[in-house]
Structure 1
Amino acid sequence: MKIAYITTYPPKQCGIATYTHDLILAIAANPEIQQEVIAIIEEHDQSLYPAEVVYKIRRNELEDYNKAAEWINQNGYDFVVIEHEYGIFGGNSGMYILSFAKSIHCALVVSFHTILERPSNDENTILIELSSIAQRIIVMSSHAEHLLQKVYQINLDKVLCIPHGVPEYGIAHEEAKASINLTDRKVILTFGFLGRNKGIELVIKSLPAVVEQHPDVLYIIAGKTHPNVIAHSGEEYREYLEELVDAKELRNNVKFINNYMPINELTNLLSACDVYITPYANEAQITSGTLSYAIGAGAAVISTPYWHAKDLLAEDRGILIPFRDKKALSNNLNKLFENSALLNFYRKNAKAYGDKITWPKIGIAYFNLFKQLKNENPDSMADSGIKLIKNLPEFSLQHINRLTNNVGIIQHAKYATPNYFEGYCLDDNSRAVLLELMAYQTFDLDIKDLHFSTYLAYIFYAQNEDGKFKNFMNFQNQFIDKLGSEDAFGRTIWSLGYFFQMSPVISHYELAREMFFKAKPHFESLISNRAIAYTIMGISYYLKNNQNDEQMTEILRGLALQLAHEFEAHQTEDWQWFENIITYDNAFLPLALIHSSNYLNDPYLYKIGVKTFEFLDQLVYKNEFLSLIGNKGWYKKGMEKPNHVGQQPIDASSMTLLYHEMYIQTREDIYYTKMIHSFEWFLGRNDLKISIYDPNSKGCCDGLEEFGINRNQGAESTISFWIAYLTVYNASTTK
């Protein structure tokens, strides 16, 4: 069996790195298993890694995660084990690991070192997504199982509790004391990275009452300041602790060891201590390797009642005290030092449990897990890809309704809450009309549950006497422009044109028709390529039911030829496009030409539509998913394609429409499949492998950014999602 671990790894000094190293050594006793490491490193890490590290991922480079997945798929691994801690991976809350996990083809085991009771949206999504594709989930305590079930609604069938392993201690307590010249001292110990959340000041504040009765007490604080703390605060916390020691006159009773201790020194120190203390300041710690090591050493333990401590110290394996209660700590220390029988009682109980969780025994548990997974039917393993059409979410206008009031649809949101500061715009009200007409046509919805009359009223109010439109209105219902953009004009014609195809209310149809023809004189003066494309779509909808209108057909032809002219002016052998730059909503340009061919019967225009479609297809459809042009760096002719930053839902939606149109034109299944994949961009088939559709709000987030998701759920994004949804839904029911 061949296993790859995705983790930090020594010489990196962190708990996850140490844990993985110890685990690999424990499993190495089984010659059937080949173990290798893909190490998460920082950008300029020049450290020398041991031979088992066969590949490295720079933490903040998304492409490294994708290349690592390719490496896994090409090198015959049976299992991948992700040692998961939010902070060790790149992206918001470590989001980049999803891109890796959803791209590998072998079985996945995820070991969760942190499980939060109140996760952020990103943290919640990452844990649930990883759990859904993992064949097994490893946790280290029963409380972790409880949180998975209660907070994340994860079925425990594939969850396995394997405790944190501990070393085999080969030296007796008194012998260890003698080896470091502490035979005449009562030794208290805390070890691990220093940081404010460790609560070490509680122990120092409790010591005067202990030293008064036991002047031979020595409290050893062993460990470096955590690198993240160093980066933000330097040695402020350690200096604070040293000043506190001086203020309490405890220099003879407190010793700092300011280094990351080798395992042999650490085990010796743990064996030598009489009492071990973890005085953490809050309960939200699901795993503590330092506490596990102390139990393994047979120390009498006093701890605050954080989650792992409550699990590990149950059944008289240690003493729990309230958070920040220095009196309880000093009283219990005095009781233990005054009563050797009580001290030995806790030491004996701790040691008996520690003997059950030594690394060799943990290694056997993992070996048995891998053996079981190897024997499972591969068909029973979770599909690491994105599910297809059968897993569509249920259609809902919940978030659309949330953004809508009696004036129109609010254009932006702060998370899922309407952002009144940004007011309204013509673009979104026009899109909302189109969406609700499509929804009515698809699902035969009750008109009283729809708002297209409100959106239509906004469009009517925005139209100027000359037939053009204003665009932006503030929340005080005042237009803040006298003339909107050509793109807003085009989108409005696209939506008004749809009324000619579908309008459930005759008066709405009549108003839409009146506004359409009032705007008609401006159709042929449009300059913006996208405005032309949107207008072509609106005219095409009109002609579907008015095919004998030769004047409108010629207007359509003129607009299509205008796009064709732009293509001829800018295209080269390796640049088959309408402009020297590719920006947003690109698919609408070839879509308009291809769609208009239904009414123009012009092979030249159709050919250009297909050429530009193929160019765009090759540019954004890679490895069976969309990698769209982002708005943080458009794609300029002669330049390299920019990275994925700033991908927008509007582009995924228009690509869905474009592939759907190609499927209608050709009936080739490849375009149907690409249509599905384009829609699934919203559900996680994207560069970050994470869904931007929010099943709770029924809204869509505003895009993919460099380190994760823009969690705001504006009107454009949500409407784009549901238009793509309805396109796919209708295509699937007629296929």
Structure 2
Amino acid sequence: MKIAYISTYTPRPCGIATFTNELVRAINRNERQMSVEQHIFAVTNGADAYVYPNEVVREIEKEQLTDYIDAANVINNGGYDICVLEHEYGIYGGNSGGYVLSILKRLRMPVVVNLHTILENPSVDEKAILLEIAQQADKLVVMTSYATDLLTRVYHISRSKIIVIPHGVPAFPLRRAEAKEVLGLTNRRVMLTFGLMGRNKGIDVVIKALPTLVKKFPDLIYLVVGKTHPEVLRHAGEEYRHYLEGLVHELDLSHHVVFHNSFVGQDQLATYLSACDIYLTPYLNEAQVTSGTLSYALGAGACVVSTPYWHAAEVLADGRGILFPFKDHQALETELHHLLVDDSRLDAIRNRVRHLQGELSWGSAALRYLDVFLQTQQEHGFIKADGEDVSQAAVHLDFQHIRRLTNQVGIIQHATYATPNYHHGYCLDDNARALLLALMAQENNRQDDRLNELISTYIAYIYYAQRPEGNFRNFMGFDNRFLEEIGSEDAFGRCVWALGYLVRCQTNSSFHQIGKEMFDRAKAHFLDMRSLRAVAYNMLGIVHYLEYEPQNQELIGILHELVDFMYLEYQQNSTEHWHWFEKVVSYDNAIIPLALLRAHRYVQREDVLQVARLSAAFLDAILFRTETLSLIGNEGWYTWQASVASFGQQPIEVYSTMLLYTELHCHDPKPIYHERMKRAYNWFLGENDLQLKMYDEETGGCCDGLEAYGVNRNQGAESTITFWLSTLHMQRVFGHYPYYPLASSSWSKSSKFTVA
């Protein structure tokens, strides 16, 4: 069996690295003598360099997204039978470690995930990432029963996917007296805490409990073994260690508290654990579902005294250890006193945990993991062979967030997460988009009276925003006062697009009539526009109007002039290798060739059609430069002498891109256009550069952008409207609400967009 691990790895000082190293070693020497080949894809931090052992075949720089994608490709092509991911939010790059999904969603093999951290109250990002991990994994391994409860209760993950395998522990060959002799601690009562140090470990609580105890038990010594956690060191230095050292000095405990500032190996650690009379984990909060140090102490047969964090509360129940309240040094002092004056009580606890060494040994853990790997392979293969498509999920129309953002005035521009943000008020752009959405939804469901209410609200905003001469104001504060006399050209154009759609669609006559009047007033400004996108929006609105009144020669004449303007911009800016209308490809780009393609129905110019196709092919090569839709980010855009900006990707781009491919399919029904449209839609649902969902099923909203760190979790009007416009468009084209693959479907770089 050939196994790939994605994890941190020794010699990096990290608990996950140590865990993976011990698991790999244990599987190598498994009792069944099963032949295994194990390779590590080690997550590293550029600030530190390590000399890795031979089993590390590739390094993944934590904050380098391309490293994750490259690693996925290497694993897929490496003949591995199974991939094991060790998951802890902090070891991976991106917001809450979201970059790890860029590997998981690309893997084409069985995947087992070890969950080292499970939060009861996760952030939005943390919950979304764990749910995505669970969706991609064949099996989730946890180390306690409480972890299973959290996964089912908080994350609603099926128990059938979860397997409990306790944390492995090393062998402990030395007796207590022998270990004490090795450490030079003969005739001392030894208390111990080990692990990477940080304020959350609560070591100061133990130190504060010692002054009275050492007077009664002068042979008592407390060993604190372990370096400061690298992340703590990076951000706070040795501040906590210095605080502890000062506390020891203040309480006159220098002969009773010893710090070993080192990351000890397994053999030395086993010696420390064998020597201790009492092991302490005085952590400061309950949210720790797994503690490797606690498992090691139990495996060593130690008497453990701990605060009741989740792992400790479970494994120390029924007299297997002693619990004391968080941050309560007086309660700890009392419990330690009872143990130190009564050896029989200490021995009774040790006897209750003595049998755990065999159950928790790494040898036992290795056999359980091998069983999971074999089972996962069989089940994964069976599902594939059976043809059952278990990776499909439906998107159902849900306007709850649209209604949440809409009040009696219009739709609020922005949200903080899913809560409307009144500070930013309203804008014409979003009310025009919202009108377009409500009209499209009404065409699908004429029995929904609530849609008429939305349509009325958005029309009323647009009507109030229009000036007597036909122009529009855009931004309005929450106090219902407009913030400028005339809005942007783009806002004007988006409004014309929506009004043209209103005129052509079969809504009630009063809506139709007021839309027609507003469109006619705005008509005087159509030829004043100089923004290419405003021109394109106007063209789309005119084409919709002409669908209602196809013989309107005035509008056809205006359309010809707008096409001429756009064609001239192309001629002035394009080159042999730059088929675009400007020297920068920026926002809502697909709308420009889309407008030319739609205008061709009325202008019938082959040179314009050729420009539309050339620019569409040029844009396609940019957007599909990888296996997923990769939008041009607003952090620099794409200029003709620079590279494409990767992040600041906006949902608005997806809808116009889908419309472009639909129009191309109307002109030339090639399958690739529908394939591109589906892939564009799937950007919302996780098939993007970060493999993170933008749509939030819980709120009915869509997140505002895809950033280098992860998802911008605010769910404003533009992004949410754009998502639902895209969903309705998919329904219209394919006849049903869309389904999407949760794992990337097959992709061929030979799928080329060609110009007829």
- TM-score with structure 1 setting the length: 0.97
Assess if the C-alpha contact under 8 Å between 2:112 and 2:373 holds in 1.
no
Preserved contact between residue 2 and residue 35 of structure 1 (Cα < 8 Å): yes
Q: How does 1:21-60 map to 2 (within 5 A)?
A: 21-29=21-29, 30-60=33-63
- 1:638-674 per-position Cα deviation (integer Å, ceiling 9, x unaligned): 22222x2100000011111111222233222221121
**In structure 2, what is the equivalent of residue 646 of structure 1?**
648
Q: Hey, what's the Cα distance between the residues in 1 that align with 2:17 and 2:507?
A: 63
SS at match of 1:324: coil
Partner of residue 589 from structure 1, selected from 585, 589, 592: 592
Q: How does 1:516-527 map to 2 (within 5 A)?
A: 516-527=519-530
CA distance in 2, matches of 1:360, 1:377: 26
- 1:139 and 1:387 mapped to 2: Cα distance? 23
Give the structure 2 partner of residue 694 of structure 1.
696
Please give the per-residue CA displacement for 1:175-228, whole angstroms capped at 9, x wherever unaligned: 111111212111111111111111111111111232232111111111111122
* Percent sequence identity over aligned pairs: 47
Question: Mapping of 1:533-544 within 5 angstroms?
Answer: 533-544=536-547
Uncovered stretches (5+) of structure 2, i.e. residues with no partner: 738-756
1:278 to partner: Cα distance: 0.5
Per the alignment, residue 632 of structure 1 pairs with: 635
Q: Is the 8 A contact 2:730 2:736 kept in 1?
A: no
User: How many correspondences in the alignment?
Assistant: 732
425, 428, 442: which one aligns with 1:426: 428
The whole-number CA distance in structure 2 between the counterparts of 1:256 and 1:459 is: 70
Matches within 5 A, 1:204-603: 204-380=207-383, 391-449=393-451, 450-603=453-606
Give per-residue Cα distances to partners, 1:209-261, cap 9 Å, x unaligned.
Answer: 32232111111111111122222222121122122222222222111111111
SS at structure 1 position matched to 2:436: helix
| Amino acid in the other structure paired with 1:594 | L
Whether the aligned pair in 2 keeps the contact of 1:439 and 1:445 (CA below 8 Å) is no
Per the alignment, in what secondary structure is the counterpart of residue 412 of structure 1?
A: strand
Superposed displacement of residue 327, structure 1: 2.8
From 123, 128, 132, the counterpart of 1:129: 132
2:8 maps to 1:8? yes
Local SS of the residue matching 1:660: helix
Q: Which moved more, 1:98-107 or 1:343-352?
A: 343-352
- SS of the aligned residue for 1:547 comes to coil
Distance change in 2, residues 1:475/1:387 (3 Å): farther
**Residue 216 of structure 2 aligns to a residue in which SS?**
coil
- CA distance in 1: counterparts of 2:683 and 2:497, whole angstroms: 24
Superposed, 1:600-619 pairs within 5 Å as 600-619=603-622
1:524 aligned partner, one-letter code:
L
How far does residue 719 in structure 1 lie from its aligned partner after superposition? 0.8
Contact 1:701 1:714 in 2 (8 A): yes
The offset of 1:11, in angstroms, is 1.4
TM-superposed CA distance for 1:499, in Å, is 1.4
TM-score by length of 2: 0.94
- Cα pair 1:660 1:727 within 8 Å, conserved: no
Secondary structure at 1:420's aligned position in 2? strand
Partner SS for 1:26:
helix
Offset, 1:382: 12
- Residue 44 of structure 1: how far off its partner (Å): 4.4
Is 205-214 or 287-296 further displaced after alignment?
205-214
| Equivalent residue letter for 2:708 | E
Whichever residue aligns with residue 555 of structure 2, its letter is M
Q: CA deviation at 1:387?
A: 8.9
Residue 146 of structure 2: which of 136, 143, 147 is its match? 143
- Deviation track 1:20-69 (CA, whole Å, cap 9, x = no partner) reads 00000000124421100000011244321110000111100111111111
Report what 2:745 is aligned to: none
- Single out whichever of 702-711 and 351-360 deviates more from structure 2: 351-360
CA contact (8 A) 2:299 2:354 kept: yes
- Uncovered stretches (5+) of structure 1, i.e. residues with no partner: none
Letter in 2 for 1:27: I
Matched, 1:196 2:199: yes
SS at structure 2 position matched to 1:626:
coil
**Corresponding residue SS for 2:192:** strand
Q: 1:79 aligns with which of 82, 107, 118?
A: 82
Q: How far apart are 1:364 and its partner, in Å?
A: 0.8
Provide the C-alpha distance between the structure 2 equivalents of 1:36 and 1:612, rounded to a whole number of angstroms: 45
Corresponding residue number in structure 2 for 1:682:
684
Closer, same or farther: CA 85–211 of 1 in aligned 2, 3 Å: same
Separation in structure 2 between the aligned mates of residue 37 and residue 506 of structure 1, nearest angstrom: 67
**Contact 1:386–1:685 (Cα < 8 Å) also in 2:** no
Distance 1:608 1:673, change over 3 A: same
Q: Which amino acid aligns with 1:650?
A: I
Query: Quick check: 169-178 or 557-566, which moved more?
Result: 557-566
Question: 1:421 aligns to what SS in structure 2?
Answer: strand
CA distance, structure 2, for counterparts of residue 509 and residue 23 of structure 1: 69
Q: Distance in 1 between matches of 2:533 and 2:382?
A: 46
Does the 8 Å contact 2:61/2:67 carry over to 1?
yes
Partner of 1:712 in structure 2?
A: 714
Structure 1 moving runs of 4+ over 6 Å = 385-388
Deviation, 1:734, is 7.9
1:659 is aligned to 2:653 = no
Conserved in 1, the CA contact under 8 Å of 2:629 and 2:680? yes
- Separation in structure 1 between the aligned mates of residue 458 and residue 153 of structure 2, nearest angstrom: 42
AA partner of residue 39 (structure 1): A
Change (3 A) 1:312 1:265: same
- Deviates most, 560-569 or 144-153: 560-569
**Preserved contact between residue 26 and residue 363 of structure 1 (Cα < 8 Å):** yes
1:404 aligned partner, one-letter code = T
* Partner Cα separation in structure 2 for residue 461 and residue 182 of structure 1: 85
Counterpart residue identity of residue 523, structure 1: F
Give the distance between the partners of 2:113 and 2:678, measured in 1 at CA. Answer: 29
Q: Note closer, same or farther for the CA distance 1:391–1:729 as it changes in structure 2 (3 Å cut).
A: farther
Distance 2:384 2:45 in 1: 33
Residues 56-105 of structure 1: per-residue CA shift (max 9 Å, x gap): 11100111111111111111111111100000000000000011110111
Q: Determine helix, strand or coil for the equivalent of 1:641.
A: coil
Provide the C-alpha distance between the structure 1 equivalents of 2:66 and 2:683, rounded to a whole number of angstroms: 18
1:500 aligned counterpart, secondary structure: helix
CA distance in 2, matches of 1:664, 1:210: 85
Q: After the TM superposition, which of the residue ranges 331-340 and 708-717 deviates more from structure 2?
A: 331-340
Question: 2:86 touches 2:115 (CA, 8 Å); kept in 1?
Answer: yes
Q: Indicate conservation of the 8 Å contact 1:560/1:593, yes or no.
A: yes
Deviation at 1:379, TM superposition (A): 4.9
